[in-house]
Chain A
Amino acid sequence: MSAIDITEAEARALLQRALLQSRADHCEVSFRASARGNLRTARNAVSTAGMNEDHVVTVKAMFGRRSASASANQLDDATLRRTVHAAEELARLSPEDPEWVAPLGPQPYLAVPAAWSEATARLSPAERAGLSAPGLAVARERGCRAASYLEDTRSVEARLSSTGLFGYHRATRVDYSVTMRTADDAGSGSAAVDQNDVARLDTAGAARIAAEKAVASRERRPLAPGAYPVILEPLAAAELLALLMEALDARAADEGRSAFSRPGSGTRIGEKLFSESVTLRSDPTDANVPGSPWASDGRAHGSQTWIERGTLRALHGSRYWSEKSGTALPPQPSRYTMDGGGGTLEELIRGTARAVLVTRLWYIRSVDPRTLLYTGLTRDGTFLVEDGRIVHAVNNFRFNESPIAMLQDVQALSAPVRANGAMVPAMRLGRFNFTSVSDAV
């Protein structure tokens, strides 16, 4: 039997076998196995493809306030034993952790059946080639060169502790992204889709959009840098929203080193920091974006509203900081949803007087954590929208912008769609700061 096919009962037995080796005051054992297949194309041909399977057992041993972890990827008794012993030795040698918290007991993990798709789990090399083939065909039809990447993953995770916490979770995911460049390298367009169930994955549709953008961006007109209204497509918006979600850290805010620290003291929870239309929430059981039932520290994920109609409602934090601050802090979610309007991206464009339409953002890096300022670039399809239609392509830009600032002037939202594991609407923002031109195509 391959480790990836381990059942709940078998996983419990494996982890129990490791736990029995432990002499620590407390021990947590987790198992993760994954099987991945991938196919990459470039220049209208396959460039690399492969499959791999791996698994890892991680042991966390605690003696009083001392703890450490060790992991290994062999499952024989001898390896399990020495991994447990290595964690214990490291734990004994570790200093006492002043931020130690008592081990977690059993948790109310939610079932997430939508995370698993049998069809995705059983994808063959030939099926991967079949899913990638439309991209190559569209590229040839439109005089483009396709570079694409298809990856499917099935994973199983289980955890067991000496306080009786147990969990078992399986998930699949398949991602396809494609970038089309015109034969003369003058135009470039991209699109990406991801799903848990491969039956919902439209690789041909993504390829058509990417080719359309590549051809439409061949003739670009210069547009000077400056602050413009923008339409961020869901993939572009998702990149900045993910950074915002990560920054909702309670401890950094309490400690005065976050954009969510209130001057003087405290945090900005309860303050209206964003436009009325901004609501961000997370729910691991959401069938559109099923997430993990637990956080890395073992706490159960539940349903949570982070920003409600523009008001900051919650920050995430560790168990230690929860205890120290006397606040029930949820863990950082693995998936999130931003509420949107009812229409499509095309309808959003039709209702726009003038804006820069952004397909994709690239190389986003923190510039100033005090304001959550990030820099990055547009790529693979940047257009000017005027009077409800795309009028022509424009040059790419470098931006210096904060997701907090940009969400203070939200003018319109499409219905959310799945983008890189989140549900995100296309958004029209009143102001987005482009600081220089990029000559890149």
Chain B
Amino acid sequence: MDRRSFVSRAGLAAGALWLPSGLAAGRRGPAEDRKALADAALGAARDEGASYADVRISRYLTQTISGRERAIQSVSGTESYGAGVRVLVSGAWGFAATADVTTDGLVRAARDAAAVARANATLQAEPVQLAPNRGYGEVTWRAPMRRNPFSMPMQEKVEFLVTVGDAALTAGATYVSFGLDLVNDRKYFASTEGSYIDQEFVRTYPSFTVTVVDRTRGFAERGSLAEPVGMGWEYLEGRERDGIATPAGTLVWGKMYDMVTDARRAAAEAREKLFAKSVEPGTWDLILDPSHLWLTIHESVGHPLELDRVLGYEANYAGTSFATLDKWKSGTFRYGSPLVNFVADRTQPGSLAAAGWDDDGVRTGEWDLVKDGVLVNYQATRDQAHILGLKRPQASSFAQSWRDVAFQRMPNVSLRPGRDRLTPAQLVAGVERGILITGDGSYSIDQQRYNFQFGGQLFHEIRDGKVVGMLRDVAYQATTQAFWNQVTAICGSADYRLGGSFYDGKGQPSQVSPVSHGCATTRVDGVTVLNTARATA
């Protein structure tokens, strides 16, 4: 079979299973059928005494391709289709989900959800309060996507990844593992308030880890410096020229990624790491590239400002928060230095959390969390908005699939770039003794988000304004408020980039959500650095 027939057969397979138009095919039904199914569920919920109900009929496609060295080890695709019904009966929530997406199945789910709500009402101390939200009628939203990875020939994706592995090995890697996670979601939300919202999402997550082994010195690893994105295959069509050189010469990536170039460079950088100087523990000034800092923002700003954590709803698992309501009410709590502004949104194009409406049926928008260093707001769902006295709900509700109940999940939380248009080179030039950290590595933070520890992928020593060489065994420890108050410079908007998490975990049962974090290169002074090779010595 020649390449051309491979491609045409793959196209056939795509038509059978993988096209995002799957919902419009066969018995999955066109939009009016979904509307009829949704109305049946909502009607059944009303018959059960629901004061409010919503239904999500959703289809989820994933493709995962993974391998190592020059071989593909796993190609898999999943398709999941079903519906979840949420009802408010006697002031308590109930939820039930089913893969039986028929009128009977949805009516049964609505009744099950009502039974759950009635059982819960017996334990309920105070009734659920919903912030006002209007019905939007029949509306649609689509993630921007120039090239749908699900309608591409599999052969092209496989060959692409094999090329990545080959590039790393040719450049001196001993081993390389790589993967590509692709997601295409279609969500249809309807509520008793008259919304019928049809949305389509796409997400792309390329990753690899290069290992260089020296049986006398040990081994060193360098992971991909790319980020997962809310974009299609066009993200992976970057070339070396799309890379952005850090002051250490490392190539990092913005809206386009060249995975082959990154893999090639990773091999050389992993080898360099193997022979790099072990860091001297102590106090250092840090220059943090966005490929690293997004994760610190995620853990020390995104999570502690989730209102459900603040209120204790996550106390048994994800934890609570140091950013308590009294600090917010004071209007003077200094979360960070005056340079620090954090904003929440679900609107940035190409971001992982981008959507038109959230899973409460609330229109997405943007709002300040920390302004000029002061805590000003949180992330809240519709049934929490009254606690903050909000006039309109924020769009912070998300469920990972049709079978899971929606709850408060992080929107994109980003650090606004600085106003002074600084460049990373200018930041480095002002540092006497510091470390430039690139890429995300080990991460850990306590359950109230005070004490954190982060590693990275690459560490470069800065002496007297110049990068002088690579370091290894670096991790920094700090407390959240002290760390953000030690921010002394933030680069301008030209350096602003998105990082993110494809699988942010929270809740019981645990659910994952996709979320991006934007920032520009940032300077943080006087941070405690550990030597991880000596940590147990």
A residues in contact (CB < 8 Å) with B = 3, 36, 38-56, 67-74, 78, 82-83, 85-86, 89-95, 97-99, 125-126, 128-129, 132-133, 136, 145, 147-149, 151, 177-179, 181, 185, 188, 190, 255-257, 261, 263-265, 362-371, 373, 375-377, 379-380, 396, 398, 400-402, 405, 433, 435-441
- Asked whether B219 lies within 8 Å of A370 as measured between CB atoms, the reply is yes
- Asked whether B97 lies within 8 Å of A90 as measured between CB atoms, the reply is no
Q: Give 10 A-B pairs besides A50-B116, A78-B26, A82-B17 with Cβ atoms closer than 8 angstroms.
A: A46-B124, A48-B405, A69-B75, A73-B99, A93-B6, A93-B13, A93-B155, A436-B451, A437-B451, A438-B451
- Asked whether A93 lies within 8 Å of B81 as measured between CB atoms, the reply is no
The tally of CB-CB contacts under 8 A between chains A and B is 284
What is the size category of the interface that chain B forms with chain A? Answer: 35 or more
- Asked whether B215 lies within 8 Å of A263 as measured between CB atoms, the reply is yes
Segment 181-237 of B: residues with Cβ below 8 Å from A: 211, 213, 215-216, 218-219, 221
- Indicate whether B77 reaches chain A with its CB closer than 8 angstroms: yes
- Asked whether B119 lies within 8 Å of A440 as measured between CB atoms, the reply is no
Known: A94-B158, A95-B162. A438 touches B450 (CB 8 A): yes
- Asked whether B448 lies within 8 Å of A441 as measured between CB atoms, the reply is yes
- Asked whether B98 lies within 8 Å of A148 as measured between CB atoms, the reply is no
Q: Which residues of A contact B74 (CB under 8 A)?
A: 69
Give Cα A188–Cα B314 distance, bound, in whole angstroms.
13
Contact of B508 among A38, A90, A366, A376 (CB under 8 A): A38
- Asked whether A257 lies within 8 Å of B213 as measured between CB atoms, the reply is yes
- Asked whether A129 lies within 8 Å of B532 as measured between CB atoms, the reply is no
Give B382 Cβ to nearest chain A Cβ, in Å. 14
Known: A56-B78, A71-B78. A433 touches B71 (CB 8 A): no
- Asked whether B442 lies within 8 Å of A74 as measured between CB atoms, the reply is no
Give Cα A29–Cα B71 distance, bound, in whole angstroms.
24
- Indicate whether B135 reaches chain A with its CB closer than 8 angstroms: no
Q: Which residues of A contact B528 (CB under 8 A)?
A: 436
Q: Which residues of A contact B403 (CB under 8 A)?
A: 52, 54
Q: Which residues of A contact B155 (CB under 8 A)?
A: 93
- Asked whether B319 lies within 8 Å of A90 as measured between CB atoms, the reply is no
Q: Which residues of B contact A99 (CB under 8 A)?
A: 71, 73
Q: Which residues of B contact A377 (CB under 8 A)?
A: 444-447, 451
Q: Which residues of B contact A89 (CB under 8 A)?
A: 9-10, 12-13, 16, 154
Give Cα A262–Cα B530 distance, bound, in whole angstroms.
27
Q: Which residue of B lies closest to A97 (CB)?
A: B71
Contact of A147 among B10, B79, B123, B313 (CB under 8 A): B313
Give B211 Cβ to nearest chain A Cβ, in Å. 6
Known: A40-B508, A73-B79, A94-B75. A375 touches B211 (CB 8 A): no
Give A159 Cβ to nearest chain B Cβ, in Å. 16
Give A394 Cβ to nearest chain B Cβ, in Å. 14
Known: A68-B75, A73-B81. A375 touches B213 (CB 8 A): no
Contact of B158 among A85, A93, A255, A365 (CB under 8 A): A93
Give Cα A405–Cα B473 distance, bound, in whole angstroms.
18
Q: Which residue of A lies closest to B80 (CB)?
A: A73
Q: Which residue of B lies closest to A378 (CB)?
A: B446
- Asked whether B508 lies within 8 Å of A181 as measured between CB atoms, the reply is no
Give B185 Cβ to nearest chain A Cβ, in Å. 14
Chain B 364-398 against A: per-residue CB contact (8 Å), 1 yes, 0 no?
Answer: 00000000000000000000000000000000000
Q: Which residue of B lies closest to A364 (CB)?
A: B444
Give Cα A371–Cα B455 distance, bound, in whole angstroms.
16
Contact of B76 among A71, A136, A405, A439 (CB under 8 A): A71
Q: Which residues of A contact B6 (CB under 8 A)?
A: 92-93
Give B228 Cβ to nearest chain A Cβ, in Å. 19
Q: Which of the candidate stretches B87-95, B137-145, B350-358, B490-498 sits at the interface with the other chain? A: B87-95
- Asked whether A41 lies within 8 Å of B123 as measured between CB atoms, the reply is yes
Q: Which residues of A contact B442 (CB under 8 A)?
A: 365-367, 375
Q: Which residues of A contact B73 (CB under 8 A)?
A: 97, 99
Give Cα A178–Cα B174 distance, bound, in whole angstroms.
46
Contact of A178 among B119, B316, B319, B445 (CB under 8 A): B316
| Subset of 23 A-B contacts with CB under 8 Å | A38-B509, A42-B314, A42-B316, A43-B313, A44-B125, A51-B116, A52-B96, A54-B403, A67-B75, A69-B74, A71-B78, A73-B81, A92-B1, A125-B116, A129-B123, A147-B312, A149-B508, A188-B315, A255-B213, A363-B445, A379-B319, A396-B446, A435-B535
Chain B 501-526 against A: per-residue CB contact (8 Å), 1 yes, 0 no?
Answer: 00000001100000000000000000
Known: A43-B311, A97-B73. A398 touches B446 (CB 8 A): yes
- Asked whether B154 lies within 8 Å of A125 as measured between CB atoms, the reply is no
- Asked whether A147 lies within 8 Å of B126 as measured between CB atoms, the reply is no
Q: Which residues of B contact A366 (CB under 8 A)?
A: 442
Chain B 286-314 against A: per-residue CB contact (8 Å), 1 yes, 0 no?
Answer: 00000000000000000000000001111
- Indicate whether B120 reaches chain A with its CB closer than 8 angstroms: yes
Give Cα A178–Cα B449 distance, bound, in whole angstroms.
20
Chain B 328-349 against A: per-residue CB contact (8 Å), 1 yes, 0 no?
Answer: 0000000000000000000000
- Asked whether A368 lies within 8 Å of B532 as measured between CB atoms, the reply is yes
- Asked whether B404 lies within 8 Å of A52 as measured between CB atoms, the reply is yes
Quick one: which of A47, A73, A95, A370 has the most chain B CB within 10 A?
Answer: A47
Q: Which residues of B contact A38 (CB under 8 A)?
A: 508-509
- Indicate whether B113 reaches chain A with its CB closer than 8 angstroms: yes
Give Cα A171–Cα B320 distance, bound, in whole angstroms.
33
Give Cα A214–Cα B210 distance, bound, in whole angstroms.
45
- Asked whether B119 lies within 8 Å of A125 as measured between CB atoms, the reply is yes
Segment 54-76 of B: residues with Cβ below 8 Å from A: 71-76
- Indicate whether B479 reaches chain A with its CB closer than 8 angstroms: yes
Q: Which residues of A contact B319 (CB under 8 A)?
A: 362, 379, 440
Give B343 Cβ to nearest chain A Cβ, in Å. 26
Contact of B312 among A42, A56, A402, A436 (CB under 8 A): A42
- Asked whether A49 lies within 8 Å of B154 as measured between CB atoms, the reply is no
- Indicate whether B360 reaches chain A with its CB closer than 8 angstroms: no
Please list the 4 inter-chain residue pairs (A to B) with the smallest Cβ-Cβ separation, ordered nearest first: A89-B13, A50-B95, A440-B448, A147-B315
Contact of B316 among A45, A49, A148 (CB under 8 A): A148
- Indicate whether B425 reaches chain A with its CB closer than 8 angstroms: no
- Asked whether B448 lies within 8 Å of A145 as measured between CB atoms, the reply is no
- Asked whether A257 lies within 8 Å of B175 as measured between CB atoms, the reply is yes
Give Cα A397–Cα B9 distance, bound, in whole angstroms.
57
- Asked whether A367 lies within 8 Å of B475 as measured between CB atoms, the reply is yes
- Asked whether B317 lies within 8 Å of A440 as measured between CB atoms, the reply is no
Known: A70-B17, A85-B16. A439 touches B448 (CB 8 A): yes
Segment 79-125 of B: residues with Cβ below 8 Å from A: 79-82, 84, 92-99, 112-113, 115-116, 119-120, 122-125
Q: Which residues of A contact B322 (CB under 8 A)?
A: 439-440
- Indicate whether B18 reaches chain A with its CB closer than 8 angstroms: yes
Q: Which residues of A contact B324 (CB under 8 A)?
A: 185
- Asked whether A379 lies within 8 Å of B446 as measured between CB atoms, the reply is yes
Q: Which residue of A lies closest to B533 (CB)?
A: A368
Give Cα A252–Cα B77 distance, bound, in whole angstroms.
27
Give Cα A179–Cα B448 distance, bound, in whole angstroms.
14
Give Cα A370–Cα B216 distance, bound, in whole angstroms.
13
- Asked whether B77 lies within 8 Å of A74 as measured between CB atoms, the reply is no
Q: Which residues of B contact A177 (CB under 8 A)?
A: 316-317, 508
